[in-house]
Amino acid sequence: MSIKRSLLSVPLRLSTLAMVFFLMLGAQAFGANPDVSDSEEAIAAGKSVFNANCKSCHKLDQKYTGPALRGVTDRRSIEWAKSFIKNSQAVIASGDPQANAIYKEFGNLAMPAHEFLSDTELESLLSYIEYGDKEAAVAEGGGEGSTEQTAGGSGVPNEYLTIILAVLVVVLLLILIVLGLIISVLTKYLNNQNLEEDDKEFINQKFDVKKILRSDAFVIIITALVIALVAKTAIDGLYSVGVQQGYQPKQPIAFSHQLHAGQYEIQCQYCHTGVEIGKSANIPSANICMNCHTHIQNVGGKEGVSSEIQKIYNAVDNNQPIEWVRIHNLPDLAYFNHSQHVAVGGIECQTCHGPIEEMEVVYQHSSLTMGWCIDCHRQTDINAVGNEYYDKLVQLHSDSKNSLKVKDIGGLECAKCHY
């Protein structure tokens, strides 16, 4: 038995050293920050803070109204980031060169103070900034002002990441070759010794794949994995019932929000006339389209009437409505009022509908589930000052040590959203 243990101990120790080496190298290569949590709970909480306070001006991986945020804890200290988020104007006024450089780069546009955010909320926000929505960033391929295709916002460009991965693979192959040589040398050495038959049989045993595949342990492991996979798929399916996130139907007219709301900067309220005055935002009628398309008959200076604009003319001439396909649907038991959120709450359209100004074809960006709405009510602050709707809350707001959230004024009451 001592020979068996000695034979196994050498590659085991080398494997352990190799594992430690890879962990250390990986942490250094990818800029792992031990002070920023990458747990799912922290990222989810940080996303709520981001959506409520930062989304209107910032994106994670590209410049927007403000700078791209991903990698901020690599470029700056965490304490600096917290101070800047809480009160950027104070940091700028202190003469901090980094803060003033950002201030000048973005046209002397100062970020509003967020002193109401707690340290826990700030840490969650930084977790989301560093680790959140990486799949979306990869799918978008970065963007203007991004860190030139960085690996998950870690500040490591993709070409360097490829080199690092190649080096790791080469090192791993070399370690495996060395381990193989060591085992081969030890095997030959031990075969030349006067060993008992059991020891020789152990040393020269072959790897029997069929025996492993037929073993009870292998069958149990595979069965457990299959059951776990089926159970997870079933649970995910149950959770997704009634959720149409990502729904992107084909419309009767190829209307581009990217062109109208993005390139030409037409305000959402111009077409969706009810968004500030009523429950529904209203789907625009053909008459609203004709306000512009009476004169604009094509795009890019082309002559004649484009086929898509001709469909608007046909609808007007035949006195028929354009049968747009509704994308955002709530259950009949749920009540949602656009004017309450947009006019009173000051919520931007993008908070719920996503980057609508970038969508060639509109899709449902958010899940619109009850949990999603409740989470927003728990995180969103009430701006009572200068808001006539909340004039009775001004004194309560000023007396409160912490900022008032929607949940503090009945935002979690069942009857607010359910008839």
Instruction: Give the pLDDT score at 143.
Output: 41
Task: State residue 163's pLDDT score.
Answer: 86
Instruction: Supply the pLDDT for residue 323.
Output: 93
> How far is residue 142 from each of residues 156, 239, 394, measured CA to CA in Å?
13, 31, 42
pLDDT of residue 222: 93
Which residues, including other chains, have CB under 8 Å from residue 182's CB and lie 6 or more apart? Answer: 10, 11, 14
Averaged pLDDT for residues 104-130: 83
Based on the fold, state whether residues 85 and 7 are members of the same structural domain.
no
For the segment 135-152, what is each residue's pLDDT rounded down to a tens digit? 655 554 444 333 344 444
Q: Indicate whether 298 belongs to any domain.
A: no
Distance in angstroms (rounded) separating the CA atoms of residues 244 and 364? 7
User: Please, how many CA atoms are within 13 Å of residue 201, restricted to the half-sphere of its CB?
Assistant: 3
Shared-domain flag, residues 120 and 169: no
> What is the pLDDT at residue 308?
94
- Measured CA to CA, the distance from residue 237 to residue 212 in angstroms comes to 34
215 belongs to a structural domain: yes
pLDDT at 137: 54
Provide the residue range defining the domain that includes 218: 209-239
- For residues 169 and 145, the model is more confident at 169
* The predicted structure's pLDDT at residue 258: 94
Judgement on whether residues 49 and 148 belong to the same structural domain of the protein: yes
* List of residues 6+ apart from 372 with CB closer than 8 A: 366
Residue 341 or 393, more confident: 341
Find, among 334, 324, 325, 340, the residue nearest to 242 by Cα. Answer: 334
Q: What is the pLDDT of residue 40?
A: 84
Q: State residue 279's pLDDT score.
A: 93
Taking all residues of the chain, what is their mean pLDDT, rounded to a whole number?
A: 81
Please give the Cα distance from 294 to 316 (Å, whole number).
11
Q: Answer yes or no: do 101 and 84 share one domain.
A: yes
Residues 109 and 147 in one domain: yes
pLDDT in tens, 22-73: 444 444 444 445 567 778 888 888 898 888 888 878 888 888 778 889 988 8
Instruction: Tell me, rounded to whole angstroms, the distance of Cα 110 from its chain centroid.
Output: 25
The answer on 108 and 56 residing in a single domain is yes
pLDDT(278) > 60: yes
Q: What is the pLDDT of residue 27?
A: 43
pLDDT at 319: 93
Specify burial of residue 52 (Cβ count, 10 A radius: 0-12, 13-18, 19+): buried
218: left (phi over 0), alpha (psi -120 to 50) or beta: alpha
290-346 pLDDT, tens digit each: 999 998 988 876 788 999 999 999 999 999 999 999 999 999 999 999 999 999 888
Co-location of 147 and 51 in the same domain? yes
| 173 is a domain residue | yes
Work out how many domains the chain is built from and give that number: 3
Over residues 208-233, the mean pLDDT reads 89
Between CA 152 and CA 156 the distance in angstroms is 8
Highest mean pLDDT: which range of 100-109, 205-214, 364-373: 364-373
Could you give the angle at which helices 307-317 and 286-293 cross, rounded to 10 degrees? 120
What DSSP letter does each residue of 40-74 carry, written as one string?
HHHHHHHHHHHHHHTTTT--SSS-SSS---TTHHH
pLDDT at 80 over 80: yes
On the question of pLDDT at 393 being above 50, the answer is yes
pLDDT of the residue at 397: 65
Check residues 210 and 233 and name the one with the higher pLDDT: 233
Same domain, 149 and 52: yes
**The predicted structure's pLDDT at residue 315:** 94
Instruction: Check pLDDT > 90 for residue 171.
Output: yes
Together in a domain, 44 and 128 = yes
Least confident of 34-38, 96-100, 139-143, 355-359: 139-143
Predicted local confidence at residue 151, as pLDDT: 44
What percentage of residues in the chain have a pLDDT greater than 90?
Answer: 35
The yes-or-no verdict on residue 81 having pLDDT over 60 is yes
pLDDT of residue 195: 79
Q: Residue 187 has which token pair?
A: 């095997």
**Considering the domain boundaries, does residue 167 fall inside one?**
yes
Q: Identify whether residues 142 and 173 lie together within a single domain.
A: no
Res 373 pLDDT > 70: yes
pLDDT of residue 24: 47
* 358 backbone dihedrals φ, ψ, rounded to 5°: -110, 0
Domain presence at residue 244: no
Task: Report yes or no on 147 lying in a domain.
Answer: yes
Mean pLDDT of 389-406: 72
**68 with 169, same domain?**
no
Same domain, 149 and 165: no
**Does 187 or 139 have the greater pLDDT score?**
187
Q: Give the closest residue to 29 by CA, choosing from 184, 166, 156, 194.
A: 156
Res 1: pLDDT: 46
CATH of the domain at 54: 1.10.760.10
Q: In this structure, is residue 58 part of a structural domain?
A: yes
pLDDT higher than threshold 70 for residue 2: no
Residue 9 has pLDDT above 50, yes or no: no
- pLDDT grade, residue 228 (50/70/90)? very high
Q: What is the mean pLDDT of residues 270-295?
A: 92
The structure tokens listed for 63 are 């410049």
Q: Is residue 194 part of a domain?
A: yes
